[in-house]
Amino acid sequence: MTDLKKTEAPVNTVTLNRNVVDEPTQNIYEAISIVAKRANQINLEIKKELLEKLDEFATYNDSLEEVFENKEQIEVSKYYERLPKPHALAMQEWLEGKIYYRNTLEENSEK
């Protein structure tokens, strides 16, 4: 998984040069599709990691009176809220050439 602490992905929205984004594929729709699929993968990885960390704080009591705020749990949640969004992480990986992709339609037509 991407090291979330060392990423240079923006937290806020930024404008990108379309020509830079579609340069590897020469097709903006294909490039966006690849980035979207990677963003879904990143989202699942982050969600899994977050749920594992929050599960450490889980209490299995049914009593509403025993519900209390756990400062560590709140800090974990805030950390994940401050991270760049999965689409920004995926786009940063794409621009850095870190996403492997292949076009299976071109491979099938060559055979």
Task: Please report, in angstroms and rounded to a whole number, the separation of the first and last CA atoms in the chain.
Answer: 34
On whether residue 11 sits in a domain, the answer given is: no
Task: Name the token pair of 93.
Answer: 């990986």
pLDDT tens digits, 46-87: 999 999 988 877 766 655 544 556 778 888 888 989 999 999
* CA–CA separation, 43 and 25 (whole Å): 24
Q: Is the pLDDT of residue 90 over 70?
A: yes
Average pLDDT value for the chain: 85
On whether residue 48 sits in a domain, the answer given is: yes
On whether residue 16 sits in a domain, the answer given is: no
Task: Name the token pair of 28.
Answer: 């903006």
On whether residue 46 sits in a domain, the answer given is: yes
Q: What is the pTM of this model?
A: 0.79
On whether residue 109 sits in a domain, the answer given is: no
On whether residue 30 sits in a domain, the answer given is: yes
Q: What is the mean pLDDT of residues 40-45?
A: 96
**How much is the pLDDT for 59?**
67
Domain that holds residue 78: 22-54+69-100
| Alpha carbon separation from 43 to 1, 14, 18, 19, 59 (Å, rounded) | 11, 20, 24, 26, 26
**How much is the pLDDT for 5?**
66
Count the domains in the chain: 1
